[in-house]
Structure 1
Amino acid sequence: MQSPPAAPDGQVADAVKGNWVDTMAPVWSRPYLRLSRADRPIGTWLLLLPCWLGLALAMIHDQRAGFEDLWIAVGCALGAWLMRGAGCTWNDITDRDFDNSVERTRSRPIPSGQVTVRGAVVWMCAQSLLAFCILLTFNMTAIALGVLALLPVAVYPFAKRFTWWPQVFLGLAFNWGALLAWAAHSGTLHAPAVLLYLAGIAWTLFYDTIYAHQDTEDDALIGVKSTARLFGDKTATWLRRFLVATVGLMGLAVVFSALPQANVLAMVLALAGPWAMGWHMAWQLRQLDIEDSAKLLRLFRANRDTGMIPLLFFAAALLA
């Protein structure tokens, strides 16, 4: 099949309008930055926020914070940007034929001819190596977890070929930072970190099902599976279940983190985080229209705020 023409100046169809890549980045770098989704920052936020939530809960659990935690937060931010870029590059390499058949994705750099597969592989390796250098500044437990994270990242692009639940594999990959950041602070893992990880997976099922509804018609034509296609008209019911699971599991993570040492005010503030997060997810449910692609994309992007809400409450609990 002949590749369709790229959008004007190579812009990707679902990129944020007026983003810095399309307006400020050197022209030669734009196809590679688009390949990394630098023109669509929401994915970096969704990869980073579990890291910061894990770090904040680990500090609540240990009742200590130091300058090394500042570096963990910064290192996670840099690593999230790089690994989100590497992961998206890998996704686009493996999905290049599918992307050419989907209206929303055919303007991406590989199917539109802006970047060759060989160039994409080199770019993916460069981003991964830089992220690995950052990972090496953490303790051995975090390093081991960071290396292990490559497994769900590698598998995810293929999941939609063999399961109706590829969003689970995305959740496994995108929320790994909750475990890694907890270990980077504590040197080991505790039960609250695992509960937070599971809460993140439920949250990913919530927001990525919303996102996947943009492509249900094209996905059906090319045989790609997703929870959006699986749930269909029952999507709102399933999203409520994911909302409850997210809030409940995160609430348990807070209880087991704060119960040993935190004071009553810190406990209340920390528990208010998942409670407020749940209300933001409920607002998304009230706005949901699975036939309105523009609204679906707006709701998906709103999940940056969804994740920021508990983080702010956790920060307040640390200061209480």
Structure 2
Amino acid sequence: MSGGIRTSVKGHLIRQRVTFALGTVHEHENENFTAPKDPPSLPETTTASTSYGYSKIPCSPMMNSAEKETSQGQGGMDPAVLDDIIRRLTEVRLARPGTQVKLSESEITQLCIVSREIFLQQPNLLELEAPIKICGNIHGQYSDLLRLFEYGGFPPSANYLFLGGYVDYGKQSLETICLLLAYKIKFPENIFLLRGSHESLIDDKIFCLHGGLSPDLTNFDQIRNLPRPTDIPDIGLLTDLLWSDPDRDVKGWGMNDRGVSYTVGPDKVTEFLEKHDLDLICRAQQVVEDGYEFFANRQLVTIFSAPNYCGEFDNAGAIMGVDENLLCSFQILKPAEKKPKFMMSTKI
């Protein structure tokens, strides 16, 4: 793969080619490599690594819980109440999958009100720094969210960026969104949740969003200036950021089977990255069999973090970790051993 990244060395900018660790893998194929120094994993996981450069850029500090409590507030929420909510939501990981958590209406309302204020204090375009772990759709599969945290580390021991798709389809959407909001309130600098008009740049090199590119997106100030809150229109920039999909058989922009937005060809991905001096687009939105799937010579990656999606498909889930050197590794949550009822679909 050709291309380059910028690395600062004693004040001088140099160009360095993007390299890949552990060999060459063709697009749309799974990488079955084992990377060194992975976090403690569940028994049913595999990993793979990909290098996107060597920019040494620090991140928000990852602390233990005691340290973090002294450095970050709980918004307008009683810390004891918040901690109790998190305790109840996480202790069910020791119980049978699907065990429900009882939260009162007032607790849920408070989570929504306080987290809303935190979201509005942070910009539309989150400009984050590695190290960070990037997660795709969860869709209410709460036991898989807990499994994901067990594998990658519970906040604040790791930084997380979720790309949307938190609820619907799964049976525990309420628990899923409540835990994510509770962690957002407790550790606002360690966990980030993309929403409708909320996208992210990691170290100015990885553009993260839920859906895909838009023909209307010419500069990032357009995202920064989007109003919040807002309704999603039928067409336009915001719709495309949420709903467009990559399509390797398309050149330029094509019709989308969803009936909304566009499909995006590899040429437009390359054009966008070169124009904005980026290395990678990271998005969610579509079910992919191995939990992640490359597109356009690894210039775009789709991440989906809900294994056995809806209990109907045999897909794996994935987390993409980005370390301080922008080395990307994929941690795989394998699906349960069961026969799928339907063939794999890539549209949700």
Shorter-chain TM-score: which interval?
A: under 0.3
More strand by share: 2
TM-score (norm 1): 0.27
TM-score (norm 2): 0.26
More helix by share: 1
